[in-house]
Amino acid sequence: MNLFLYVLTQVCITLVSVCGIYILTGLTGMFSLGSAAFMAIGAYVSGLLVLNTGMNMYLAFLLAIAFAVCVGYVIGFPVVRLRRDYISLVTLGFGESIAQLILLLSQYTGGAFGLIGIPRRVNVWIALIIAILVIILTALFKCSKYGRQCIAIKSDELAAKAMGINTSRVKMIAFLLSCAMTALAGCLSAFNIGYVGPTDFGWKKSADWVIMVFFGGVNSLTGSIFGGAFLTFLPQYMQALNKYRAVVYAVLVLFILNFKPKGVFGEWELTPKNMRRALMRFNRKQRKVKER
């Protein structure tokens, strides 16, 4: 049971960041290989604020998210006007720079030893509630005007521009929202584990999130959440698999990309209407079986 609660907390934290990646990659079609760096910013800023000033944890979360969004604005400003490739290149460079910066500012961040002694105040329930709130927010964003504009940009940026969508503004909004969510995930993780290390935030982590989103289905929020949850649960329960985690992930996704490019869920969403439809189809099948 203890293990289950621990894993559930990890899953919730991962889902918060996967939601951010879903908005960025799934909806808008941009790839960030520096999302983990925003997670690092969230974790370090909130941890340092609470350790040094003793302020309320939630206030520290908000300040950390605000800080991450400001940094995201500086990074995003030059690149949202350009081709979408640039954002991946720039965020990759940004991730490497943040890792260096953490090591350089060692008198504040603890350098290679990491930040120790953060109060472990985030338990599984707080993580669960925040994850659910973030998922609802993401679903609302997808249904909103901005969500639809993001989807338009993803399919064809030029056409979206021609239809009067301010593409650079919408891309910026998606990018900042994604920064905020990954930073929140960083805050949660810092206050759950009680420790932040500088090595946990490489491009591999960002790549893992992208892989999770694509595993479940890049066009479907349900699929992304399923992918995030499944791929976090799986290695925790198969310790033997943990060593091969990266390889297994990669092979799974290569198979999906080659043979079922829309992901496990495709574009299917878990809405009441779709559930009813699936139920009806199921009933019909049952009836046919009985008639036979």
Partner 1 sequence: MSFQILINGISTGTVYALIAIGFALVFNILKFSNFSYGATMTASAFIAYFLVASKGWGLVPTLICSALAGALISLIGEFVGFRRILKNHSPSTYFFVSSITLGSLYEGLVTLKAGTNFYVYPNFFETPTIQLFQTVISKENIIMLVISVAALLALAFVIQKTSIGRAIRAVSFDRDTAQLMGINATLIIQAVFIISGIFGGLAGCFLGIKYTLTATMGSLVVKGFIASVIGGLGSLTGAVIGAMLLGIMEAIFLSTMGSGWATIASFAVMLVFLLIRPQGIAGSNVQEKA
The answer to whether residue 200 forms part of the interface with partner 1 (CB under 8 A) is: no
- Which of residues 31 and 265 has its CB atom nearest to partner 1 in the complex? 31
Binding partner 1 (rule: CB under 8 A), the pick from 11, 43, 65, 79 is 79
CA distance 207 to 30: 13
37-134-34 Cα angle (round to 5): 15
Q: At what angle do helices 167-193 and 57-79 cross, to 10 degrees?
A: 150
- Closest approach of partner 1 to the CB of residue 159, in Å: 8
- Closest approach of partner 1 to the CB of residue 15, in Å: 19
Binding partner 1 (rule: CB under 8 A), the pick from 7, 51, 101, 193 is 101
- The identity of residue 157, as a single letter, is E
**Start-to-end Cα distance in the chain:** 44
Nearest by Cα to 218 from 250, 275, 175, 260: 260
CA distance 88 to 250: 19
74-82, 140-148, 185-193, 221-229 -> range binding partner 1 (CB under 8 A): 74-82
Q: Which H or E element spans position 195?
A: strand 195-196
The answer to whether residue 242 forms part of the interface with partner 1 (CB under 8 A) is: no
The answer to whether residue 266 forms part of the interface with partner 1 (CB under 8 A) is: no
The answer to whether residue 238 forms part of the interface with partner 1 (CB under 8 A) is: no
Can you read off the two tokens belonging to residue 262? 């829309």
Can you read off the two tokens belonging to residue 234? 């799986």
- Closest approach of partner 1 to the CB of residue 205, in Å: 10
The answer to whether residue 65 forms part of the interface with partner 1 (CB under 8 A) is: no
- Which of residues 62 and 159 has its CB atom nearest to partner 1 in the complex? 159
Tell me how long the chain is: 292
135-143, 186-194, 198-206, 280-288 -> range binding partner 1 (CB under 8 A): 198-206
Q: At what angle do helices 85-104 and 203-216 cross, to 10 degrees?
A: 140
CA distance 200 to 188: 14
- Which of residues 260 and 287 has its CB atom nearest to partner 1 in the complex? 260
Binding partner 1 (rule: CB under 8 A), the pick from 11, 134, 181, 211 is 211
Applying CB under 8 A, which residues contact partner 1? 25, 29, 31, 33, 74-75, 77-79, 81-83, 85-86, 88-90, 92-94, 96-97, 100-101, 103-104, 154-155, 157-159, 202-204, 207-208, 210-211, 214, 218, 243-247, 249-251, 253-254, 257-258, 261
